Amino acid sequence: MKSFFEKLTGASDMDDEFNLEEVPENAKKLKIEKTTDRETRSSEEDWEETEEEIEGELTIDMYQTPDKIIVKTIVAGVKPDDLDISITRDMITIRGKREEKHIISEEDYFSKELYWGSFSRTITLPAEIEVEEADAREENGLLTITLPKIDKHRETKLKVKSK
């Protein structure tokens, strides 16, 4: 039976609506354990295992000119050979990995704000582009991807060949 508060707010008991046993095993990122006080927690071991699986997401600037879409992102510390850029007519995916060269023990850090590890970003483009004419350049840690738009109004003359 719902309490007065649950009736008033429309809230319900989470155990009635969600059962962890119904979630497919491959869909769980963290192992959640029920505690006696109805809170959830995950063990430190589980967090460390999943932390390695998480990819960072690149921040981007994307803008257009009359004939191009430009995507810019910071990839400082990543070699151009360690970047993977996949393009279709309406989507672009940028993947890479930034590796820390020196391993420092956690207790020696005063501050740890930089992202190290795998990253990716998939962007749906606002217009179709010419995949074959796309260009990517890295300069001083700034990756600039130039994507020429498809000119839908372009006409060409077709010559008829005879046999």
- Give per-residue pLDDT as tens, 101-148: 888 888 999 998 888 889 999 999 999 999 999 999 999 999 999 999
State the DSSP code for 149. B
What pTM value is reported for the model? 0.60
The CA distance from 118 to 56, in Å, is 6
The pairing of beta strand 56-57 with beta strand 117-124 = parallel
The CA distance from 40 to 6, in Å, is 20
Q: Does domain 56-103+112-148 have CATH number 3.90.660.10?
A: no
Encoded tokens for 14: 């989470």
For the chain, percent of residues with pLDDT exceeding 90? 40
The CA distance from 83 to 75, in Å, is 9
The CA distance from 82 to 132, in Å, is 21
Residue 149: name the closest of 123, 128, 124 by CA. Answer: 128
Encoded tokens for 80: 């151009």
The CA distance from 44 to 106, in Å, is 15
Contact 57, 120 (CB under 8 A): yes
Domain borders along the chain are: 4-51, 56-103+112-148
Amino acid letter for position 137: R
The CA distance from 142 to 75, in Å, is 6
- Model confidence band, residue 157 (pLDDT cutoffs 50, 70, 90): confident
Judged by average pLDDT, the poorest of 8-12, 29-33, 44-48 is 29-33
Length of the chain, please?
163
Burial class (CB in 10 A: 0-12, 13-18, 19+), 108: exposed
Cβ atoms within 10 Å, residue 84: 11
